[in-house]
Amino acid sequence: MDLVSLFITSFIVNNIIFMQFLGACPFLGVSKKIDTAAGMGIAVIFVITLASIITFIIYHTILVTFELEYLQTIVFILIIAALVQFVEMFLKKSAPGLYQALGIFLPLITTNCAVLGVAINNIIYEYEFIESLVYSVGTSAGFLLAIVLFAGVRDKVDYADLPDSLKGSAISLITAGLMSVAFLGFSGLQL
């Protein structure tokens, strides 16, 4: 599969949130304002891309060489946790406004299924380095797209007249479901 179609597929056709569900927790939690959502999305692109690169290298040079593949889960999650720490410190210094706005959701990028999911998928699909890079950037860009779109919609939903039991996560999920239908439409896309 050439790189362009790999990108489009991971960006839209197999959108990480609407089609693969990875990253659903922060997606539902953060996205109330478009600029916060965008900030979160960009932070995630950064973390996923870097995490992919590092985990890929470590897996192929160390884990495979020493037949330690079973340590994949532990090693990957520790790399991700450390990476998120660095991003946190970096943002605190260079973009304190965004750091405040993201709040608790920034360290929670560590438990974002999308980050670990992408790292693991790079191994499962036996991607080469450039392919894994394209896959990571495409996937995380898809996360950004999803989260910004959702923030826009969520904004309007807040003004809607809803029965009490549906307010909050329930209506968020249903809304996400309807947006997912739209993304389902991309599935036939042949490149």
Partner 1 sequence: MKNNFVKLVSILFIIAAVSAGILAWLNDTTKDIIAQNEAMASMDPAILEAVMPGSVMFYDFEDTALIDTVKAENNKIINLMTAVDASDNELGKVVRTWSTVKGFNGDMELYVGFTSDGQISGVSVISHQETSGVGSKTAEPAFTEQFIGKDASSEISYSDYDAVTGATYSSESFLSAVNNAIKVYSDYLK
Partner 2 sequence: MNKLQIFNNGVTKENPILVQQVGMCATLAITTSLLNGIGMGVAVIAVLTGSNIVISLLRKFIPDEVRIPAFIIVIAAFTTIIDLLMHAYTFELYKALGVFIPLIVVNCIILARAEAFASKNSLSDSIIDGLGMGVGYLVAMILLSSIREILGNGTILGFRILPEAYEPMMMAVQPPGAFILLGLLIGIVNYVSKSKKA
Q: What residue ranges bind partner 2 (CB under 8 A)?
A: 18-25, 28, 70-74, 77-78, 81, 108, 110-113, 115-117, 120-121, 124, 163-166, 168-178, 180-181, 183-184
Q: In the chain, which residue ranges form alpha helices assigned H by DSSP? A: 3-8, 24-30, 34-58, 72-94, 96-102, 113-124, 129-157, 169-184
Q: Report in angstroms how near the CB of residue 164 gets to partner 1 at its nearest.
A: 34
Exactly one of 94, 126, 156, 163 binds partner 1 (CB under 8 A); that residue is 126
Structure tokens given for 119: 């790292």
**Residue 28 or 147: which CB sits closer to partner 2?**
28
122 binds partner 1 (CB under 8 A): no
Instruction: Return the one option of partner 1, partner 2, none that residue 9 interacts with (CB less than 5 to 8 A, by type).
Output: partner 1
Structure tokens given for 68: 């330690």
Exactly one of 86, 90, 125, 129 binds partner 1 (CB under 8 A); that residue is 125
Q: Are 101 and 137 in contact (CB under 8 A)?
A: no
- The piece of 45-53, 69-77, 79-87, 102-110 that touches partner 1 (CB under 8 A) is 69-77
- Grouping H, G, I as helix, E, B as strand and the rest as coil, residue 49 is helix
Q: Are 27 and 150 in contact (CB under 8 A)?
A: yes
Instruction: Return the one option of partner 1, partner 2, none that residue 1 interacts with (CB less than 5 to 8 A, by type).
Output: partner 1
Cα of first residue to Cα of last residue in the chain, in angstroms, is 9
> In residues, how long is the chain?
191
